[in-house]
């Protein structure tokens, strides 16, 4: 693994990796958030500015157009009233044609519903349909004022339609008492071009500003994120065991002081870890040396005790009982030394596997046969749920030791209630579960159940002479196989231990064919799930639930 590798820039990563980059990179989130917020702000500001400019330009044109239309209407009304009534129709047509000012506006003349002597007249090739119906209704119902509205001006000569302003009013002919509707159509092409230029300018300026804000955000966050990323990489190296790694200190700002504090913390951790490693090494050395050194005197004492034990019937009752107690305690002492030697082998990394293809059911049967006397004394019944072969490549001696510990503990703590032993297998894993309905253990005790020299109740009378190392050695044996040992317990509801082993050495466990908690558990309680990669780690829940 390259500890110096930095995340690739956003533009150099594959689109499929963008969600991961978003979750992992503070810089990406800050820059993206800055771009989004600045884009929203600029859109709102641009919309407000464009609305104000549009209203200003159109209102200015509307005011000038109304003044121009009012002047033309007055001139047209005076000319019509001064014309000969006999030639009023011809005069209207001439006046409409003369009223047009090409490029500024066009005129449309329409008779009202009560005056049909004059046909519709228009100038500049505009179509009468360019006058909206709403405007015609307003002008036709009231002749006292000008009405205007925005419209789309259409032409009959194929010219493209153009936005425009339509202003209309009525004209009365005094000599005939007829009324006509006159509409002035002012094209707004120039205003539209002006607004287009303003819109393009705002859009260009907004894009440039967004890019500039994004670049500023990237530069600013880079100044902050770079030391943080460096601290992360140094922390990863420290976690990997490279305790000599330190951060570079540049300047005297807050980030430099953070680097100084981080380096001090790393130095203190290095000192503490090395001190603990040395203490651990001395402890392992002491346990190993003491265990080996005690072997020789223990052998001598064992020979003398065996001799006394063989002739115990020749002693008086008190001496005979003392010899029996001596024999029992020597057996327990010898078992403790064996466990300590095994623990020292695990600590030194000297433990090795002698793999063979075995059926775990056979190992269970041997263990039960060895515990037959204890089962009879406890009055405990054993229920077996082992319907199919459960084969795996394991070290049978170590697996038998694991099951001997699990089954022995179950018998001792079962309070005479039945014990259930289950086996199951799938394509990758084989599992054995031991369930008792005895005293169980509390949730806070689950953290220590695999600890060395720990017992749930040190004052409890023991019939099997446990050393407090059985479950710890069992856990190490399971890890050595690449397996896992899980424990569940509830006060008054018993305990449940599950051993899961890979069927082949090249298999990595991803699950277990047996559940992590018993199906007959009366309630959900905290569980102890000890994984080979996380010793003595307490988890809640299970992947099998």
Reading the block at residue 247, the tokens are 């951060």
Query: Which residue pairs from 140-149 have beta carbons closer than 8 angstroms and sit at least 24 positions apart in sequence?
Result: 140/112, 140/113, 140/170, 140/181, 143/169, 143/170, 143/172, 143/179, 145/169, 146/66, 146/69, 146/70, 146/73, 148/62, 148/65, 148/66
Reading the block at residue 502, the tokens are 């890979």
Helices (H), 177-188: none
What SS3 class is residue 530?
strand
**283: closest CA among 352, 349, 338, 340?**
340
Contact (Cβ atoms closer than 8 angstroms) between residue 488 and residue 527: yes
Looking at the DSSP bridge assignments, the partners of residue 429 are 502
Within 10 Å of residue 229's Cβ, how many Cβ atoms? 15
DSSP state of 292: H
Write down the pLDDT at residue 530: 42
pTM of the predicted model over 0.85: no
**137: closest CA among 104, 109, 113?**
113
Per-residue pLDDT of the chain (545 residues; tens, 9 = 90+): 344 444 555 545 556 665 666 666 777 788 888 888 989 999 999 999 999 999 999 999 899 999 988 888 888 777 777 666 655 666 667 767 766 666 688 888 887 765 555 567 777 788 888 889 888 888 888 777 889 999 998 888 778 888 999 998 888 776 566 778 888 889 898 888 999 999 999 999 999 998 998 888 888 888 877 777 788 788 888 777 777 888 778 777 777 888 888 888 888 888 888 887 777 777 667 766 776 677 778 788 888 888 888 888 888 888 888 888 888 888 777 777 777 777 777 766 667 788 999 999 999 999 999 888 888 888 888 999 998 999 999 998 889 989 988 998 889 888 888 999 999 999 889 999 999 988 888 766 766 787 776 665 554 444 444 567 778 888 888 888 889 988 888 888 888 999 999 999 888 888 899 988 888 876 544 444 444 333 333 322 333 32
Secondary structure string (H, E, C) spanning 23-70: HHCHHHHHHHHHHHHHHHHHHHHHHHHHHHHHHHHHHHHHHHHHHHHH
DSSP H or E segment with residue 454:
none
CA atoms of 326 and 321, how far apart (whole Å):
9
DSSP state of 493: T
Q: What are the chain's domains? A: 254-347 (1.10.287.130), 354-530 (3.30.565.10)
Contact (Cβ atoms closer than 8 angstroms) between residue 320 and residue 312: yes
Ordered DSSP codes for 115-154: --SS--EESTTB-GGGS-HHHHHHHHH--SS-EEEEEEE-
**397: closest CA among 438, 352, 429?**
352
Reading the block at residue 241, the tokens are 């065991």
Within 10 Å of residue 410's Cβ, how many Cβ atoms? 25
Residues 6+ apart with CB under 8 A from 75: 99
Ordered DSSP codes for 314-378: GS-HHHHHHHHHHHHHHHHHHHHHHHHHHHHHHHHT------EEEEHHHHHHHHHHHTHHHHHHH
Query: Which residue pairs from 62-65 have beta carbons closer than 8 angstroms and sit at least 24 positions apart in sequence?
Result: 62/148, 62/165, 65/105, 65/148, 65/165, 65/167, 65/184, 65/186
**199: closest CA among 54, 328, 338, 80?**
54
Write down the pLDDT at residue 454: 67
CA 167 to chain centre: 62
Question: How many residues are present in the chain?
Answer: 545
**362: closest CA among 288, 423, 436?**
423
Reading the block at residue 226, the tokens are 């770079």
Within 10 Å of residue 314's Cβ, how many Cβ atoms? 9
Contact (Cβ atoms closer than 8 angstroms) between residue 512 and residue 500: yes
**403: closest CA among 352, 348, 363?**
363
Write down the pLDDT at residue 384: 92
């Amino acid at each position: 693994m390259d500890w110096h590798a930095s995340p690739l820039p956003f533009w150099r990563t594959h689109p499929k990796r963008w969600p991961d980059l978003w979750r992992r990179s503070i810089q990406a989130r800050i820059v993206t958030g800055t771009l989004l917020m600045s884009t929203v702000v600029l859109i709102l500001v641009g919309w407000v500015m464009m609305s104000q400019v549009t209203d200003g330009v159109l209102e200015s044109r509307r005011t000038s157009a109304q003044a121009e239309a009012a002047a033309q209407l007055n001139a047209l009304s005076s000319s019509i009233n001064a014309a000969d009534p006999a030639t009023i129709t011809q005069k209207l047509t001439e006046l409409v044609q003369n009223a047009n000012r090409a490029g500024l506006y066009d005129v449309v003349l329409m008779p009202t519903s009560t005056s049909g002597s004059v046909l519709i007249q228009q100038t500049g090739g505009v179509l009468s349909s360019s006058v909206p119906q709403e405007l015609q209704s307003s002008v036709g119902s009231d002749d006292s004022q000008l009405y205007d509205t925005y419209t789309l001006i259409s032409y009959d000569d194929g010219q493209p339609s153009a936005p425009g302003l339509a202003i209309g009013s009525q004209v009365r002919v005094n000599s005939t008492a007829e009324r006509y509707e006159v509409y002035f159509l002012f094209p707004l092409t120039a205003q539209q071009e002006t607004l287009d230029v303003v819109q393009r300018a705002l859009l260009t300026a907004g894009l440039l500003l967004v890019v500039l804000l994004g670049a500023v955000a990237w530069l600013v966050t880079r100044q902050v994120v770079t030391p943080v990323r460096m601290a992360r990489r140094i922390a990863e190296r420290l976690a990997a065991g490279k305790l000599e790694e330190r951060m570079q200190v540049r300047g005297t700002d807050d980030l430099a002081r953070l680097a100084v504090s981080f380096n001090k913390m790393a130095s203190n951790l290095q000192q503490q870890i090395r001190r603990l490693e040395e203490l651990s090494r001395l402890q392992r050395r002491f346990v190993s040396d003491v265990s080996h050194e005690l072997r020789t005197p223990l052998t001598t004492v064992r020979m003398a005790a065996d001799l006394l034990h063989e002739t115990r019937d020749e002693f008086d009752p008190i001496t005979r009982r003392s010899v029996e107690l001596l024999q029992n305690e020597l057996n327990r002492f010898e078992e403790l030394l064996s466990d300590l030697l095994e623990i020292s082998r695990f600590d030194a990394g000297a433990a090795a596997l002698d793999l063979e293809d075995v059926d775990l059911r056979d190992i269970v049967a041997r263990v039960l046969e060895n515990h037959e006397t204890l089962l009879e004394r406890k009055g405990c019944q054993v229920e077996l749920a082992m319907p199919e072969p459960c084969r795996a490549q394991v070290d049978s001696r170590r697996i038998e030791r694991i099951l001997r510990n699990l089954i022995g503990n179950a018998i001792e703590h079962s309070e005479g209630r039945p014990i259930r032993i289950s086996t199951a297998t799938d394509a990758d894993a084989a599992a054995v579960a031991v369930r008792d309905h005895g005293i169980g253990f509390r949730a806070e005790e689950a953290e220590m159940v695999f600890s060395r020299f720990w017992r749930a109740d040190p004052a409890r009378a023991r019939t099997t002479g446990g050393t407090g190392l059985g479950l710890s050695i069992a856990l190490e044996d399971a890890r050595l196989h690449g397996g896992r040992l899980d424990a569940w317990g509830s006060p008054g509801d018993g305990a449940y231990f599950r051993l899961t082993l890979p069927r082949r050495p090249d298999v990595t466990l991803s699950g277990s064919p047996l559940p992590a908690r018993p199906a007959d558990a009366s309630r959900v309680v905290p569980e102890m799930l000890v994984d080979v990669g996380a010793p003595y780690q307490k988890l809640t829940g299970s992947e099998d639930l």
